[in-house]
Structure 1
Amino acid sequence: MALKKTESGWLADSQPGGRGSKRFRKTFKTQAEAKAWEAWLKTQVNQDAKWQPEKRDTRKLSELIDLWHTHHGVSLKAGTDTYNRLKLACAAMGDPIADRFTVNTFTAYRTERLAAGIAPNSVNREHAYLRSVFNELRRLGQWNKPNPLAELRQFKVQESELSYLAADQIHELLSELQKGKNRHAAMVARVCLATGARWSEAESLEARHLRNDQIQFAGTKSGKVRAIPIEPELAQQLRSHHLKAETGQRLFAPCYAAFRDAVGRSGLELQDGQLTHVLRHTFASHFMMNGGNILVLQRSLGHANLTMTMR
């Protein structure tokens, strides 16, 4: 603190929080009053942290991502994949100091990604991943500053058209699958068409998941177990298929490539990104066209909300 005698009295000039903190100036009639005010300021600094200069967080962004993965991401089904994506994005941004990572840092990065031909949907996912890292670290007490991406809006992406197969297309596709060398592909496709399961869910089924003319799907995208009834005829075919298969407890061997080849041979024109997913759309569409209830369909598909089912 500096005291200076002026024409109007004693000028007290103080930065109670040290260099870089807020400066206070006040004029008093006497030197004693100025010194008493100085003592009061010092007690305020000691009692109230807001008077102190803000402390830097010198951790790297990669360290925050590691913390997120250790305390939260490791428990997620797709945690490892998300962690790897985050680390790649972090490296591409130069692994900035945590408290110097701003919305401008990320917007510059995503502009470069778009210029490189990366789809807006993919950039939006990276945005969501990074935003969730800061949100979760705040909940864990590992980050006490605002989320730098909280106010940044994602790109608005036009929804793609969802296609489904008509009855004659279904028969044509199953016929091509039967002709293929991989004997598992046709059965997996039939399971997807009968239950609305994702290809990965059907392909990873084990014998224990087939019981009382029902298929139980575990390890799903939502993390919830669901059971779907099937026709007794299909249940018997699945049991017979397992007896002939050499896949241990699993009902099927990997057969995605065989399905892709059969689609090519059949001449079906599908929307981008909807190869095996067209079977799920086909189940849902025919279910509703045949008078099904949309709430039952939501539970069958394992959707968390009705909006996705309605789409």
Structure 2
Amino acid sequence: MTTKRKFKRKGVFLSSESKHAVTKEMAELTLKEMHLRFMRYKRSEGLAPRSLNDYEEHFGYLLDFIGGGDLKRNEITADLILEYKYYMVHNKNLAPGTVNLRLRTLRAFLKWCYNEGFINEPIHEKLKKVREPEDKIRNIEPYEVKALLSVIDDEWYSEYRDKVIILTMLDTLMRISECLAVKRKNVDLRNNVIHLEASDTKTRKARSLPISVKTAKLLAEYMQETEDFNNEYLFLTYDGRPLNHGTFRKHLVMYSQRAGLDKVVTPHMLRHTGSLLYLLNGGNIFSLQKILGHSTLEMTRRYVQFTESHLNEVHEDFSAVNSIFKVK
């Protein structure tokens, strides 16, 4: 009599099989239901509100592409997702940076779905970045900063506040989201430092930013002006509510037009400009990296691409020939 041998238990899967063993509940999940679970997971990670908003907003663009409806599990395919990527690049003509930002959040979602066993295909592995042109620094010249500030009417509270924000951002190199999250208690005027809380930074790491004496005096005056609002946040609307970054962006557009600039100044341009001037004035790239809150020097590299006029100035100061012959 032949003995029947059994090497695997019934219902027990190999590790490679168990990941994608489909229960009835999983098989019935739709794209939207998967994303709801994904967002619960992301919130449990303690992501910043802005990051969570990006995941929601970018998922909305995908839903718009499929017509606003929903998809069953077997309808979520690599072909569909790659078609969406093609649509963004060729039909919508979106900038490569915008496409890559949306792909990044989508890739994270699809990877999570695959790892959880909600989808069988590792679609995220096929979702490659769009090639971007070499970064070119977008900054404004010092005379343009002065022109921008000159058209701001200090008699109006909202414009006075915007002036304080502009100078604070140029001095500290904060992101606009970080700047508008600063609370009054975070401003240390005794030591001329602004403390950023970990929950308010993009990297989720706290950092302390030095401020100049000029900026410290300006902030002291502004804080006295806004004391009667009795709000913990530093930068407030005319009726004492925390300022929205969209409102500040619109005001920058208005000031750019008033000043007759040939470009529209954005909050990120202030960060770029402050970074470039920091280096041109003798700051080193390692301290700049720490101030900007970058985890790698590669990220800081984008902030040190000089314009031709800046290159000429730097070359004149550090030319080997000028050094040898003491040309002044």
- What's the counterpart of residue 92 of structure 1? 65
User: Structure 1 or 2: larger helix share?
Assistant: 2
1:155 aligns with one of 119, 130, 139: 130
* 1:107 positional shift: 1.4
CA deviations 1:191-221 (Å, max 9, x no partner) are 0111111233323433211112111223122
Q: 1:54 to 1:275 in 2, by over 3 A?
A: closer
* SS of 2:126 mapped into structure 1: coil
After TM superposition, list the pairs within 5 Å mapping 1:235-274 onto structure 2.
235-245=216-226, 246-247=228-229, 248-253=231-236, 254=243, 256=248, 257-270=250-263
CA deviations 1:215-257 (Å, max 9, x no partner) are 1223122222221112233212211211112543333223613
Asked if 1 retains the 8 angstrom alpha-carbon contact of 2:77 and 2:121, the reply is no
* 1:162 positional shift: 1.7
Q: 1:175 to 1:203 in 2, by over 3 A?
A: farther
Give the number of the structure with larger relative contact order, counting CA–CA contacts within 8 Å between residues 6 or more apart. Answer: 2
Query: In the alignment, residue 38 of structure 2 is paired with which amino acid?
Result: W
Asked if 2 retains the 8 angstrom alpha-carbon contact of 1:163 and 1:270, the reply is no
2:290 aligns with one of 280, 299, 303: 299
Q: 1:128 to 1:165 in 2, by over 3 A?
A: closer
* 1:308 positional shift: 1.6
* 1:58 positional shift: 3.6
* 1:138 positional shift: 5.2
User: Is 1:308 the counterpart of 2:299 in the alignment?
Assistant: yes
* SS of 2:127 mapped into structure 1: coil
User: Is 1:124 the counterpart of 2:116 in the alignment?
Assistant: no
* 1:261 positional shift: 1.2
CA distance in structure 2 between the partners assigned to 1:234 and 1:154 by the alignment:
40
Unmatched tracts of structure 1, length 5 or more: 1-31
Q: 1:46 to 1:250 in 2, by over 3 A?
A: closer
1:234 aligns with one of 215, 237, 254: 215
After TM superposition, list the pairs within 5 Å mapping 1:26-45 onto structure 2.
none
Asked if 2 retains the 8 angstrom alpha-carbon contact of 1:120 and 1:155, the reply is yes
- What's the counterpart of residue 10 of structure 2? 46
Q: 1:200 to 1:80 in 2, by over 3 A?
A: closer
CA distance in structure 1 between the partners assigned to 2:161 and 2:12 by the alignment:
69
| The 10-residue stretch of structure 1 (226-235 or 290-299) with the greater mean CA deviation from structure 2 | 226-235
Q: 1:87 to 1:45 in 2, by over 3 A?
A: farther
| The 10-residue stretch of structure 1 (194-203 or 283-292) with the greater mean CA deviation from structure 2 | 194-203
CA deviations 1:97-121 (Å, max 9, x no partner) are 2244221011122323331344443
Asked if 1 retains the 8 angstrom alpha-carbon contact of 2:196 and 2:208, the reply is yes
CA distance in structure 2 between the partners assigned to 1:55 and 1:208 by the alignment:
52
1:168 aligns with one of 143, 156, 162: 143
- What's the counterpart of residue 14 of structure 1? none
* SS of 1:46 mapped into structure 2: coil
User: Is 1:189 the counterpart of 2:172 in the alignment?
Assistant: no
CA distance in structure 2 between the partners assigned to 1:267 and 1:177 by the alignment:
13
* 1:142 positional shift: 5.0
| The 10-residue stretch of structure 1 (60-69 or 152-161) with the greater mean CA deviation from structure 2 | 152-161
CA distance in structure 1 between the partners assigned to 2:275 and 2:11 by the alignment:
64
User: Is 1:214 the counterpart of 2:184 in the alignment?
Assistant: no
Query: In the alignment, residue 235 of structure 1 is paired with which amino acid?
Result: A
Unmatched tracts of structure 2, length 5 or more: 237-242, 303-328
Using the size of structure 2 for normalisation, the TM-score is 0.71
CA distance in structure 2 between the partners assigned to 1:168 and 1:180 by the alignment:
23
Asked if 1 retains the 8 angstrom alpha-carbon contact of 2:169 and 2:270, the reply is yes
Select the structure of larger CA radius of gyration.
Answer: 1
Query: In the alignment, residue 195 of structure 2 is paired with which amino acid?
Result: Q
- What's the counterpart of residue 110 of structure 1? 85
CA distance in structure 2 between the partners assigned to 1:47 and 1:178 by the alignment:
74
- What's the counterpart of residue 55 of structure 2? 82
Asked if 2 retains the 8 angstrom alpha-carbon contact of 1:173 and 1:266, the reply is yes
Q: 1:185 to 1:87 in 2, by over 3 A?
A: closer
Query: In the alignment, residue 67 of structure 1 is paired with which amino acid?
Result: R
| The 10-residue stretch of structure 1 (209-218 or 109-118) with the greater mean CA deviation from structure 2 | 109-118
* 1:137 positional shift: 4.4
User: Is 1:69 the counterpart of 2:39 in the alignment?
Assistant: yes
* 1:280 positional shift: 0.9
Query: In the alignment, residue 70 of structure 1 is paired with which amino acid?
Result: R
CA distance in structure 2 between the partners assigned to 1:167 and 1:79 by the alignment:
36
Using the size of structure 1 for normalisation, the TM-score is 0.75
* SS of 2:29 mapped into structure 1: coil
